[in-house]
Structure 1
Amino acid sequence: MQEGPAARRDTATWALIIASAAGFMAALDNLVVTTALPSIRADLGGGLGDLEWTVSAYTLTFAVLLMLGAALGDRFGRRLLFAVGLGIFTVASAGAALAPGMEALIAARAVQGLGAAIMMPLTLTLLSAAVAPERRGFAFGVWGAVNGLAVAAGPLIGGTLTEHISWQWIFWINVPLGAVLLPLAVLRLNESRGPYPRLDLLGTAFVSLGMFGIVYALIRGNSDGWSSAAVLAGLIGGTALIAVFIAYERRTANPMLPMRLFRSRAFSAVNAASLFMFVGMFGSIFLLSQFLQDVGGYSPMEAGVRMLPWTAMPMIAAPIAGALSDRFGGQPVVVTGLVFQATGVALLALVVSTDVSYPQLVPSLVISGLGMGFFFAPTANLVMSSVRPEEQGIASGANNALREVGGALGVATMSAVFSAQGGYLSAQQFVDGLTPALWVGTLAVLLAAVAAALVPRQTGRIREKGAERPDPVTA
């Protein structure tokens, strides 16, 4: 029995609320810990390496297992696995808040990453299935705004909770939200599955181990040295395993990630754009938040507040961008957003100095925020529109995995440039390192704009309500 229009709208509304809230939780925990690290060390002890792993354990399992999470959802049911991932994430958040020592905290963070890796790619799949095609741009706009805000506002939220309550509350905040979302997901979301009846175990092993090697090397490169045995083994071994994965997927009958998807110019180009965008954005936010504290002299919470022109702007821009992508197609909106983002980062590189005033930074922060808002929503729409409906789960997993790798690569690359040209010993040294790093970030976002320009303009555009889209694989 088919749902009526009112019932479909109700289902779509609940899917948007649930997917956006779950995406917010997963995205927030990428950077929410950074401003709480001094308080965590004062409470639990541990050295610099332990603190790095408090951040990296989450990033590592999140990035490595995203493809597995999407594949499990396709095989066993997307609503079921979304609920499982949400439950794991919520329980692990409580475990992190209750951790008696650094080892327990790092382990809980790794389990959090597992939960996030299962639920995050399924948020887009479930949302796409629930929302009518002519409204998907707007829905993805809201989803993108909420996720963009979570990524960029993580340091502010973490600093505020740590300063005014305790560092444990950066994890406790997830528990009531997860407890509310879990029954809503079971009751309000529709179940769906992917096209392949069997799980590609060998392909899953190849891509998971390959991603582990690459992301581990990116995370540890600056601290352990890029020529260290572990980092070189991760880069070389991980790349080799990804190559084996690609070769295997081209031959197996039930591939985890069908290689024919990459014959779609839209799919290949939008994923390349996502990778380069996150290189420039993550690396820039990582260094700029430190600049405001180390050179500007602001507290963690004060620095987060001063980032609001960047971090809050996506809440305004992303829904508008989603609606524009419905009307004009996602490609021109994404390209415009990336040009804005590159311009904002370039302006930062031009104005940062030891005595720069905050008002001088505001225009570049606003432009960067507009760019991020115009990027997130249409990109989600482009990814989902570039593949067939039954393949949207794995497409979302692949795109999210590339974003996480891009974020890790951006932090590693821009930190390496920063360390080579400057350092933390003085304000001038910090600026000496920050300026060339921001130019690298600008270049990365410009490369993203070039990749996005290769996406066919009609991708994701709904010309008439109920109109059929062309086969995305041959577009």
Structure 2
Amino acid sequence: MALMDGTVVNIAVRAIGADLVASLAQLQWVVNGYLLTLASLVLVSGALGDLRGRRQLYVVGIAWFALASSACALAPTATALIIARAVQGVGAALLTPGALAVIQSSFVPEDRPAAIGTWAGVSGIATAVGPFVGGFLLDHGGWRGIFAINVPVAAVVIALTLRYVPESRDPEADGRLDLVGAALTVAGLAALTLGLIGSGESSAARTIALCASGFGLLGLFVARERRAPRPLVPLGLFASRVFSAANAMTLLVYGALGAVLFLLTIQLQVSAGFSPLASGLATLPITVALLLLSSRFAALAHRIGPRIPMSAGPILCAVGVVLLAPVGRGTGYWLGVFPGMCVFGLGLAALVSPLTAAVLGAAPDRYAGTASGINNAVARAGSLLAVAALPPLVGLTGTAYDDPAAFTDGYRLACFACAGLLTAGGVVSWLGLGRTAESAISGQI
């Protein structure tokens, strides 16, 4: 639910903009309000789950998410929707790391790779199927339905969780949380996002001041984590070469993924003339690839180590994005969209499961929730910053989504920028996951 909502809104942004008379900057905030609170608070959630109980926090997060989804569905203005989306992100932050931490603590070590591979595959499918679900709901009831549908789903998930999921926590937890660190994270990411989204229409001085403030606050966060008695981010985890490289790759790859899905679904409707449902169906090859191949790549990474799939996967994604760059007026699906989607889906399937297993395998079991929270925070922060920065950098501001020619020019520049981020992610994995690190992670898994 949480991961799907991170992408399902992409397919609806044009309809939301028309219905609520929103600018492109406001539509960016509809996406980024959610990502901001998710990326900022998922660190607190990971530590809180280890402390208070992972199942308990997971259930609270699902209920919170459902209530906020109702507020989104009823939002009368763009501003109200942005606020509701930010509140919804808090619920997503509570439940997201809890799901993976529950799996990590509920399976014996030899069974974890298959369980994590299944979880990663379903998570990837949720991310990729979002545009398809959004398109269907848009064609059969409008954009408000993409939020309202979360309520009955949440009720079913809560019932199943209470019946079947065991409780677990960190037995060495001391009861303290780093709330100052959490506040610094929220403030730093918010300042950066505000500066980046407004960079196309605000003065250079304001943009520089906001971005500098954001980096400064995040720097204070790192300094705080060095001294905090129970830090949100135990910096010792980054002493692991695998953990550091995997999170660096996550930042680059998920930044590109967020920006591509945000802009592609708009481009298919604005310039190529696809309906919302057709633009959602266009991403179906990604879903199929994740469904069929995620567990296979998890098993492959278990045998040979994560270095090759985590290096080749982002490169394949970059090739897929380059193939999607020409999408524009007159583009047909089978020749203009399908090949790029297939290559992109293959690359994503190759990297998702090995990445998740590498992050958790590089951290002690007692930090399962924390490690998951860190990686989720890095992934959402990457998407948050990319969605905020790329549109104004490539000239997409105001109501550019109503101008097919202008949007196409910006979209194509953004595709090549995203291909560069993905390629960098593959290089980081290859260099960071060397033979020594690869052997270590294979042993831990």
Q: Is the 8 A contact 1:261 1:267 kept in 2?
A: yes
1:446 alignment counterpart: 423
Residue 77 of structure 1 deviates from its aligned partner by 1.7
Aligned equivalent of 2:93, options 117, 132, 148: 117
1:213 alignment counterpart: 191
2:354 alignment counterpart: 378
Provide the rounded CA distance (Å) in 1 between the counterparts of 2:334 and 2:17: 34
Write out per-residue CA displacement over residues 447-475 of structure 1, whole angstroms, 9 at most, x where no aligned residue.
1111112122125425xxxxxx39xxxxx
2:439 alignment counterpart: 458
Residue 287 of structure 1 deviates from its aligned partner by 2.1
Is residue 2:412 matched to residue 1:435?
Answer: yes
Residue 400 of structure 1 deviates from its aligned partner by 0.9
Residue 368 of structure 1 deviates from its aligned partner by 0.4
2:182 alignment counterpart: 204
1:338-349 → structure 2 map (5 Å cutoff): 338-349=314-325
Aligned equivalent of 1:174, options 121, 136, 150: 150
Residue 390 of structure 1 deviates from its aligned partner by 0.7
Residue 178 of structure 1 deviates from its aligned partner by 0.9
Write out per-residue CA displacement over residues 315-363 of structure 1, whole angstroms, 9 at most, x where no aligned residue.
12212111212222222222221221122123334x5464443322322
Provide the rounded CA distance (Å) in 2 between the counterparts of 1:418 and 1:412: 11
Q: Is the 8 A contact 1:60 1:113 kept in 2?
A: yes
1:362-401 → structure 2 map (5 Å cutoff): 362-401=338-377
Residue 104 of structure 1 deviates from its aligned partner by 4.0
Aligned equivalent of 1:232, options 202, 205, 208: 208
Residue 39 of structure 1 deviates from its aligned partner by 4.5
The change in CA–CA distance for 1:56 and 1:201 in structure 2 (over 3 A counts) is: closer
Instruction: Name the amino acid aligned to 1:441.
Output: C
Q: TM-score, normalised by structure 2?
A: 0.89
The change in CA–CA distance for 1:460 and 1:425 in structure 2 (over 3 A counts) is: same
The change in CA–CA distance for 1:284 and 1:99 in structure 2 (over 3 A counts) is: closer
Paired residue total: 436
> Which stretches in structure 1 are left out of the alignment for 5+ residues?
1-24, 463-468, 471-475
Residue 74 of structure 1 deviates from its aligned partner by 2.2
Aligned equivalent of 1:324, options 279, 289, 300: 300
Q: Is the 8 A contact 1:414 1:441 kept in 2?
A: no
Aligned equivalent of 1:62, options 23, 30, 38: 38
Aligned equivalent of 1:358, options 322, 333, 342: 333
Aligned equivalent of 1:77, options 53, 56, 60: 53
Q: Is the 8 A contact 1:332 1:457 kept in 2?
A: no
Relative CO higher for 1 or 2, CA cutoff 8 Å, sep ≥ 6? 2
Is residue 2:112 matched to residue 1:136?
Answer: yes
The change in CA–CA distance for 1:341 and 1:45 in structure 2 (over 3 A counts) is: closer
Is residue 2:295 matched to residue 1:314?
Answer: no
Q: Is the 8 A contact 1:30 1:59 kept in 2?
A: yes
- SS of residue matched to 1:250: helix
Aligned equivalent of 1:148, options 124, 129, 138: 124
The change in CA–CA distance for 1:228 and 1:289 in structure 2 (over 3 A counts) is: farther
Aligned equivalent of 1:107, options 83, 99, 102: 83
Residue 365 of structure 1 deviates from its aligned partner by 1.3
The change in CA–CA distance for 1:42 and 1:246 in structure 2 (over 3 A counts) is: closer
Aligned equivalent of 1:415, options 388, 391, 394: 391
The change in CA–CA distance for 1:38 and 1:339 in structure 2 (over 3 A counts) is: closer
- SS of residue matched to 2:8: coil
Write out per-residue CA displacement over residues 126-172 of structure 1, whole angstroms, 9 at most, x where no aligned residue.
11111232332322222222222222332221221121123222112
Q: Is the 8 A contact 2:250 2:378 kept in 1?
A: yes
Provide the rounded CA distance (Å) in 1 between the counterparts of 2:279 and 2:258: 16
The change in CA–CA distance for 1:239 and 1:131 in structure 2 (over 3 A counts) is: same
The change in CA–CA distance for 1:233 and 1:78 in structure 2 (over 3 A counts) is: farther
Residue 407 of structure 1 deviates from its aligned partner by 0.9
Identity of aligned residues (%): 36
Q: Is the 8 A contact 1:63 1:215 kept in 2?
A: no
Provide the rounded CA distance (Å) in 2 between the counterparts of 1:46 and 1:440: 26
Write out per-residue CA displacement over residues 54-111 of structure 1, whole angstroms, 9 at most, x where no aligned residue.
3332122112211121122122222111111111111211232234554543332222
> Which stretches in structure 2 are left out of the alignment for 5+ residues?
none
Is residue 2:240 matched to residue 1:259?
Answer: no
Write out per-residue CA displacement over residues 368-414 of structure 1, whole angstroms, 9 at most, x where no aligned residue.
00111111111111110111011121111111111111112222343
1:9 alignment counterpart: none
The change in CA–CA distance for 1:432 and 1:93 in structure 2 (over 3 A counts) is: closer
Provide the rounded CA distance (Å) in 2 between the counterparts of 1:101 and 1:247: 39
- SS of residue matched to 2:394: helix
Instruction: Name the amino acid aligned to 1:381.
Output: A
Q: Is the 8 A contact 1:414 1:438 kept in 2?
A: no
The change in CA–CA distance for 1:435 and 1:104 in structure 2 (over 3 A counts) is: closer
- SS of residue matched to 1:196: coil
- SS of residue matched to 2:268: helix
The change in CA–CA distance for 1:45 and 1:432 in structure 2 (over 3 A counts) is: closer
